[in-house]
Amino acid sequence: MLSTVYLNKRRRPRIEAGHPWVFSGEIGRVAGDPAPGDIVKVVNHSGYLLGIGYINPQSQITVRMLSWEEQDIDTAFFEQRLRAAYQLRKHVVEDNSNAYRLVHGEADYLPGLVIDIYDQYAVVQSLTLGIDQRLPQIIEALQRVLSIKGIYERNDVTVRELEGLEQRSGFIGTEFDTSVQVMENGFPMRVDIASGQKTGYFLDQRENRAAIAHYVQDASVLDCFSHTGSFAVHAARYGAKQVKLVDISETAIDAAKQNAKLNEVEEKLDYVTANAFDYLRSVSDAGEIYDVVMLDPPAFTKSRKTVPAARRGYKEINLRGIKLTKPGGYLITSSCSYHMSKEEFLDVVAEAAIDAHRSLQLIEYRGQGKDHPALLAAPETSYLKFAVMRVW
């Protein structure tokens, strides 16, 4: 028999609206003695069933909802959820791409779980105790849904420690070469799923990389925070005259060179191993100019309290990027910081333009790819901001 979590009477009705998180401060009492990770019923203060989820008293998010009805959480349950997720991806992932996100956590009604597909290989992240305990069932369900040749877990993320979990990574089952060649927007790219960023690659920008085709043809391009060269290679393949990549990681630059060779655009790419902040400052002060400047930095803030510092960082790089863009050229700029809203991000870019004594036209605004859906009731699932500005 499942233990029951009773919610406080005085709380916002987030759960009823479909938000999957129950915070510790929303709980009035718990009937029963559930162990961490157990499935529990969640009811309102008067006992009306709101759904079921898994509990972890160590986490501030004490319960994460799995279903809005009482049902068995077994292999069949995970298979049904994975099949639903896969049906969506079959509709929204283009035929010329075989690397995509299959499960986007809460937005696919599987909170704490990420599954990314790289051709015939899967990378799994179990970010919460409740999911980690059920990983064998999830893996079995995944094998039923897709013909997977190999599975690798990338549980080397600090967020697991908030759940009382250790960090780990490695093969689940048969070992394989973790340097995997995939197709993205029709272009071959090599991904290291064992040591690359996130699960090996920034899949959420796939559709945005395709969107730059309109702006880079016959252009000189500066690509800062280039990582393994995905935006730069796309720009070169879409007809840019020359692309300069800047990244602080020598390993990332080496990977970018491999991807350039794979796409036969080596002659179009130049490489700079440097701190992008310092480089942007030095070349803007030196008066360099480009047709297109692309900025795709890592998240500058992980919490609301650090947003002011993040704003300063975003303003600085966009100020420099604007100064480096020819009149009539394009600034293509991104933020993956959830705690900075779309409005805040665009405000920062606008402030940067004022300081640079330039004006901007917002030509295109986009978010994360459709394989990274956002749950309407949970704004936390919408995080990526991508804007194309014409600079005057």
User: Which residue intervals of the chain are DSSP H helices?
Assistant: 75-92, 129-133, 135-145, 206-211, 213-216, 230-237, 250-262, 276-285, 307-323, 342-356
By C-alpha distance, which of 321, 390, 309 is closest to 355? 321
106 and 114 in contact (C-beta within 8 Å)? no
Task: Locate 341 and state its tokens.
Answer: 């809203």
State whether residue 111 is helix, strand or coil.
coil
- Cα separation of 384 and 371, whole Å? 13
How far, CA to CA in Å, does 57 sit from each of 23, 40, 64?
A: 10, 12, 11
The sheet with strand 242-247 has its strands ordered as 269-273, 242-247, 220-224, 290-295, 325-335, 385-391, 360-366
CA quadruple 334, 337, 338, 341: dihedral positive or negative? negative
- Match 């970018």 to its residue by tokens: 256
- Cα separation of 333 and 390, whole Å? 11
7 and 44 in contact (C-beta within 8 Å)? yes
- Judge whether 224 counts as a catalytic residue: no
Nearby residues of 41 by Cβ (< 8 Å), 6 or more positions away: 2, 3, 4, 5, 49, 51, 52, 70
- Cα separation of 387 and 359, whole Å? 15
State whether residue 283 is helix, strand or coil.
helix
Q: Which of 66, 336, 349, 388 is catalytic?
A: 336
Report, as residue numbers or ranges, the catalytic residues.
336
